[in-house]
């Protein structure tokens, strides 16, 4: 039963992806914005404060990828992308374009 709930939750999350992407972007931005303020209070220059904040936070894209994999059905999203690419390829082949 737990795995069915997890599956349904991930399926719903895949459908609500756009809103979650926006929320994730805002959350990461807010988190990154707070750290330079603390670094400035510690006496770092603005440029160094931002750099240190980014180093402390880590890779933004890697974090987004991990979040997406955790919240969604990665294999379903990959399958949908593969099916779209296959359909485009078949369409091009039938139309005679390369």
**Residues 40-85 pLDDT 10s:** 888 888 888 888 888 888 888 888 877 777 766 667 777 888 999 9
Lowest mean pLDDT among 14-23, 32-41, 59-68: 14-23
Enter the tokens of residue 44: 């770092």
Mean pLDDT of the chain: 81
The per-residue pLDDT for 84 is: 93
The answer to whether residues 73 and 10 touch, using CB atoms and an 8 Å cutoff, is yes
The per-residue pLDDT for 14 is: 66
The model's pTM: 0.46
- Confidence check: pLDDT of 15 > 70: no
Distance of CA 88 to the CA centre of its chain: 25
Closest CA to 90 of 61, 34, 82: 82
Enter the tokens of residue 89: 């390829």
């Amino acid at each position: 039963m737990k795995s069915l709930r997890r599956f349904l939750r991930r399926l719903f999350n895949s459908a609500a992806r756009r809103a979650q992407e926006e929320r994730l972007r805002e959350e990461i931005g807010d988190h990154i914005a707070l750290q330079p303020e603390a670094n400035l209070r510690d006496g770092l220059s603005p440029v160094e404060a931002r750099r240190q904040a980014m180093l402390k936070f880590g890779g933004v894209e890697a974090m987004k990828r991990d979040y997406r994999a955790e919240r969604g059905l990665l294999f379903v999203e990959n399958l949908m992308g593969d099916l779209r690419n296959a359909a485009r390829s078949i369409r091009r082949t039938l139309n005679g374009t390369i």
